Amino acid sequence: QAASSLQEVFEPSSSSVYEENADINWDELGFSLRPTDYMYIMKCSKDENFSQGELNRYGNIELSPSSGVLNYGQGLFEGLKAYRRVDGGILLFRPEENARRMKMGAERMCMPSPSINQFVNAVKETVVANKRWVPPPGKGSLYLRPLLIGSGPVLGLAPAPDYTFLIYASPVANYFKEGFAPLSLVIDDEFHRSTPGGTGHVKTISNYAPVLKPQSQAKNRGFSDVLYLDSSKKKYLEEVSSCNIFLVKGNSILTPATQGTILAGITRKSIIDLARDFGYQVEERQIPVEDLIDAEEVFCTGTAVVVAPVGSVTYQGKRFEYNTGAGTVSKKLYSTLTGIQTGLSEDKMGWTVEI
């Protein structure tokens, strides 16, 4: 089993390398906020470029009650992780990809954005300042949450006059309470995550609060999360509340094409490359809901989620079940990806950035 074998590989290492670690019980991490020491803050005005940021002690920030983000949701977020290598070093996974996605999203949301270098350097500074919170190998990762918000005041609907780029960090482990146990998803006929011409492809904060209601209804019914269909035809698979979706059929791996309504996940993109490298034929296309019927495996991907196997999908009262046993494609992809992220496997793709 991939998760436990990774654990075993990590276990024998000398603890002395990690003496700098914070004194907490690393076995109790889930995916909830554990405040760390520092956050990074950089500000600029509309029509300016970001220039100089700084580290501050982690804490509350002051915002105008009429700030663009509080009133009109003018904000983006990102998520990326720093991993502790067995030799004590720290690796980031594809931080330039997050920087690029934030730049693209900022353009859609009428905000200035940090340059790729500013973004990546700010992430590195945040990790170094909080390095005692990067979990020991095998215990999780330090999740970095960059935010870009309209922080200046507006009353009429318009882009805010001032912007804040901020990064905070929290050590995390598994996203779902299920851990690596299979998820049970439900397709919701009533709610949709995004619409054509909207912002589904952008990591705007306003894509996430609207899924809280369908997500909590699903949880109350005993499901792990919701799998959304497209809003025009109500026929094609889109994504789960916090992650992308993949189906396995023989040598083919299918995932919905990112055509404006689906978030172009960085883990999604990495899994597509790894799967192709393994010889699978990956199809990015529209996937009708009927494709769930004869899929052998289904799994989710995301920065927070990593790779999570799906045990069942329920649609209009019918429950489709999937293979989640040993030797599955999702387990193989999970251990390959996490091997690269944690520095245990060779990084042939050049995805990791050492701090």
- Of 1-9, 60-68, 226-234, 299-307, the segment contacting ligand COI by CB under 6 A is 299-307
Stretch that binds ligand COI, among 47-55, 85-93, 157-165, 298-306 (CB under 6 A): 298-306
Q: Provide the minimum distance between the beta carbon of 304 and ligand COI in the complex, in angstroms, as a whole number.
A: 3
Q: Which residues contact 332 (CB under 8 A, 6 or more apart)?
A: 2, 278
**Is residue 203 annotated as part of the catalytic site, yes or no?**
yes
Spatial distance between the Cα atoms of 253 and 283, rounded to a whole number of angstroms: 6
Contact 64, 153 (CB under 8 A): yes
**Whole-number Cα distances in Å, 298 to 141, 193, 233, 251, 331:** 25, 20, 22, 13, 11
CA 28 – CA 52 distance, rounded (Å): 37
Does residue 245 contact residue 256 with C-beta atoms inside 8 Å?
yes
Helix axis angle, 95-108 relative to 116-129, nearest 10°?
A: 130
Contact 355, 90 (CB under 8 A): yes
Marked catalytic residue, from 81, 131, 203, 331:
203
270 binds ligand COI (CB under 6 A): no
- Nearer to ligand COI by C-beta: 95 or 302? 302
Q: Which is nearer to ligand COI, 98 or 113 (CB)?
A: 98
- Compute the least distance from the CB of residue 241 to ligand COI, in Å: 7
Counting residues that bind ligand COI (by CB under 6 A) gives 7
Question: Does residue 341 contact residue 353 with C-beta atoms inside 8 Å?
Answer: no
| 304 touches ligand COI (CB under 6 A) | yes
Cβ proximity to ligand COI: between 90 and 304 the closer is 304
Contact string (CB under 6 A) for ligand COI, positions 202-241, x = contact: ------x---------------------------------
Of 53, 79, 200, 309, the one binding ligand COI by CB under 6 A: 79
Nearer to ligand COI among residue 242 and residue 258 (C-beta): 242
Q: Which is nearer to ligand COI, 247 or 304 (CB)?
A: 304
Binding mask 159-198 for ligand COI (x = CB under 6 A): ----------------------------------------
From residue 132, give the alpha-carbon distance in Å to each of 125, 141, 172: 13, 11, 13
Asked if residues 313 and 227 have their Cβ atoms less than 8 Å apart, the reply is yes
Burial of residue 5 (number of CB atoms within 10 Å: 0-12, 13-18, 19+): exposed
Closest CA to 225 of 145, 318, 312: 312
- Contact between 302 and ligand COI by CB under 6 A: the answer reads yes
Interacting span for ligand COI (CB under 6 A) from 21-29, 41-49, 131-139, 301-309: 301-309
Q: Taking the complex as a whole, how short is the minimal distance between the CB of residue 267 and ligand COI, in angstroms?
A: 7
Q: Of these, 242, 255, 258, 330, which contacts ligand COI (CB under 6 A)?
A: 242
What string of DSSP letters covers 261-303?
A: SS---HHHHHHHHHHHHTT-EEEEE--BGGGGTT-SEEEEEET
Residue (39 or 211) nearer to ligand COI, CB = 211
Residues 130, 142 contacting (CB under 8 angstroms): yes
Which residues participate in catalysis according to the annotation?
A: 203
The site for ligand COI (CB under 6 A) is made up of 79, 208, 242, 302-305
